[in-house]
Amino acid sequence: MSKNHLYKGTLSAILLKLIEEQGRMYGYELTKRARELTSGDLDITEGALYPALHKLEAEGLLTTEVEKIGNRSRKYYRLADEKGGEARKRIDELAEYARNLQQFLNPKPGHGAA
């Protein structure tokens, strides 16, 4: 029972935020963390995840390091130094979006009307 439909459009910014927080993360880890933090509301599927990560890498926002864990390989992502500003900008936009949405849903009870 995911509520993915509402998260549409925020996926790549969410990925950037998680990666920024942890320093580096790999795909599978990102899906688990997102599920945790949203109480299961956001269930990122591979079909959405990997294309999004690849796109961010292609844009130069992320760099990768492949690491062997035993016989299996993980692909770690981290924010690219050169475009760190752009990444942070997108994360900030996400935060501003969240605030706007809150504002929208719970408009400040103006001083005017009782």
Partner DNA sequence: CCGCATGCATAAGAAAATTACATATATTTG
Partner DNA sequence: CAAATATATGTAATTTTCTTATGCATGCGG
Q: In the complex, which residues of this chain contact a second copy (CB under 8 A)?
A: 3, 5-10, 13-14, 17, 37-39, 41-42, 93-98, 100-105, 107
Structure tokens at 52: 């999004």
What is the full DSSP assignment across the chain? Answer: ---HHHHTTTHHHHHHHHHHHHS-EEHHHHHHHHHHHTTTS----HHHHHHHHHHHHHTTSEEEEEEEETTEEEEEEEE-STTHHHHHHHHHHHHHHHHHHHHHHS----SS--
Contact between 24 and DNA by CB under 7 A: the answer reads no
Residue 38 site contact among DNA, a second copy, none (CB < 5 to 8 Å, cut-off depends on kind): a second copy
Give the residue with the Cβ less far from a second copy, 13 or 25: 13
Contact between 7 and DNA by CB under 7 A: the answer reads yes
Residue 45 site contact among DNA, a second copy, none (CB < 5 to 8 Å, cut-off depends on kind): DNA
Contact between 23 and DNA by CB under 7 A: the answer reads no
Residues binding DNA (CB under 7 A): 2, 4-5, 7-12, 26-29, 32, 44-48, 50-55, 69-75
